[in-house]
Structure 1
Amino acid sequence: MKDLYQFFDDESSTYTYLLIDADTKEAVIIDPVDQHLNQYMTLLANEHLKLKLVLETHAHADHITSAGALCSLTGARAATPAHCKITAAEIQLADGQALIFGKQQVIQAIHTPGHTAGAMTYFWNGKLFTGDSLLINGCGRTDFQNGDAGALYDSITRRLFSYPDETLVYPCHDYDGNTFSTIGHERRHNQRIAGRSREEFIRIMDALDLPPPKMIDKAIPANMKLGLNLRHAAGS
């Protein structure tokens, strides 16, 4: 059995990750998307998996989560970064907190603010699930949800780049068809940050002048409530 499944949402270019402990068939899902709820549930059923935790890296602005629906349907618990103040989640994660599932499988929560004030990265089995903090050849924007370019530079260079070169990087988004990278590659080649000073990085981020995500006004309020939509649980 595979220990990692990836799902991709074309509309928001969002990756969702399902982590599996083969011995116990317990599973954890990271950043699930509302439109793909049935796909997740089908895989869980077909592989006879027990979903234990639903993790969010932050309160997303470009899609609505299916975290609440997944918890309602499976009995899993939601875990979100404490600084995001997603109070609907049962577990409010602090920096360095460990989450256990399966047969001594450990996920470590790493506070990596900058894209948003509460953003978390999750480390598991040599893999970093970086949300929007570190993308492949890029990084998340810093112009809303208390974003801070200087904080993001520090999160990437001091925390994520402290991991060994071979550490795998799985971001929440990719717009070029990539599925993963490595810390070594991003440290040397990421066009936003490789070889940049903190001041240069801040200037680059401040000059992006990006339009707001088209779903921001709908997505953030919904995601603060874990995207709860009990129609899914009712089967309607």
Structure 2
Amino acid sequence: MTVAPASSVSLAAAAGGGSLLFRQLFDADTGTFTYLLADVASGEGLLIDSVFERHQRDLSLIQELGIRLVACLDTHAHADHVTGSWLMHEATGCAIGLAAAARAENVTTPLQHGDRVTFGSRHLQVRSTPGHTDGCITFVLDDQSMAFTGDALLVRGCGRCDFQQGNAHTLWASITEQIFTLPDSCLLYPGHDYTGRTVTSVAEEKAFNARLGGAATERDFVGHMQNMKLPHPHKIAEALPGNMRSGKPREAVPTAPGWAPLQRSYAGLPELPPSWVAEHRDQVTILDVRSSEEFDGPDGRVAGSLLIPLPELEARAAAIPADRPVVVVCHSGSRSALATQQLLKAGRARVANLRGGLSRWSDEGYPLDGAVTAGTAS
């Protein structure tokens, strides 16, 4: 399923005019990085190391940018969070990619060393980098300018080797033979960090990684890794079984019937498109938060809408009918976004912003009472 972008922004503009769009996302609860890449020319993209609880955030960004997701990939079967791959597969039809060695269920694209995952004219090369787990892989961009190392190599550290098929000798070989053989300038993006470090490079880790950089030998590395005495990840009992199902819940997730097909923007705001609001105008209160001058001005208004200017909203909130959902509108959707947030914080559960505001409403051909067009203006 491909969802049209919520605005007219082009992927090229979002990518700053480059040929590749790249976004690094973060889950503070588990210190996990998620990465989105897209080939600008084709609009095809990949998501790496998604987090189950951040599915809606990631999907909203993909939808807003109009990206056709080819695959949701994981660098390994994580022990500290559940992947969002299955949810993303259900939402977009994308492939689920994980190392074949992980032997997880619901994987549609089992990956081997040397495979390529293609998106548009670009691709990621799969390099097997076991040692943290048997199924760890590193994804290397086609021009070797960046690589996604998962937990095999972190910023000034590396993944632990004391459980889940871990082996320090194997990890040493993986890092030195598969990651440190990339160009020194290659940027390395880790699966996790807990102190705000977001990226490193091959040259930096060769020189400064305390476990295996500088003059460290395999003997030094193994001695370090075998004496770390770390506690197990606190989510391991939930995460490992979940990831062996590619994030598919054991039972269908019950969804309470909503009052409307709400979509969350990347900013986290519940929104509705003009088409749905136009079809259900008699079932909702349309709250206009512009000034009275704008409401009665040439831009017009939605028939039957309630006017409460934004500066007066807090004081007059009781005037909004409580027996109906509320769709908040303004010219562009900016002021109404703030009003929507205020109403949600005040405890109103059934409220949403009109995506794109009255400007988009008019552009899509829906009528506005009192609107003055160029042909009718005096």
Counterpart position of 2:276: none
Match of 2:219 among 178, 196, 199: 199
SS in 2 for 1:108: strand
Counterpart position of 2:127: 110
Counterpart position of 1:145: 164
Match of 1:213 among 233, 254, 260: 233
SS in 1 for 2:54: helix
TM-score after normalising by structure 1: 0.96
1:157 shift after superposition: 1.0
1:204 shift after superposition: 0.5
Counterpart position of 1:59: 77
Larger Rg: 2
SS in 2 for 1:158: helix
Counterparts of residues 1-236 of structure 1 (less than 5 Å): 1-2=14-15, 3-102=21-120, 104-124=121-141, 125=143, 126-194=145-213, 195-229=215-249, 230-231=252-253
AA matched with 2:253: R
SS in 1 for 2:220: helix
The superposition leaves residues 24-45 of structure 1 with CA deviations (integer Å, 9 ceiling, x where unpaired) of: 1111000000111110111111
SS in 2 for 1:44: helix
AA matched with 2:131: G
Within 2, Cα distance between the matches of 1:81 and 1:7?
Answer: 22
Provide the alpha-carbon RMSD of the alignment. Answer: 1.5
AA matched with 1:149: A
Within 1, Cα distance between the matches of 2:45 and 2:257?
Answer: 23
Identical columns (%): 36
AA matched with 2:184: D
1:235 shift after superposition: 8.0
Within 2, Cα distance between the matches of 1:105 and 1:182?
Answer: 21
- Any unmatched runs of 5+ in structure 2? 1-13, 16-20, 259-378
The superposition leaves residues 165-210 of structure 1 with CA deviations (integer Å, 9 ceiling, x where unpaired) of: 1000000001110111110000011111112111111110000000
1:233 shift after superposition: 8.8
- Poorly superposed stretches of 4+, deviation over 2 Å: 229-236
Counterpart position of 2:295: none
SS in 2 for 1:5: strand
The 1:235–1:51 alpha-carbon spacing in structure 2 relative to 1, beyond 3 Å, is farther
The superposition leaves residues 209-232 of structure 1 with CA deviations (integer Å, 9 ceiling, x where unpaired) of: 000000111100001111114538
Tell me how many residue pairs correspond in the alignment. Answer: 235
1:87 shift after superposition: 3.0
Q: Which structure is richer in relative contact order (CA contacts within 8 A, separation 6 or more)?
A: 1
Within 2, Cα distance between the matches of 1:48 and 1:58?
Answer: 27
- Any unmatched runs of 5+ in structure 1? none
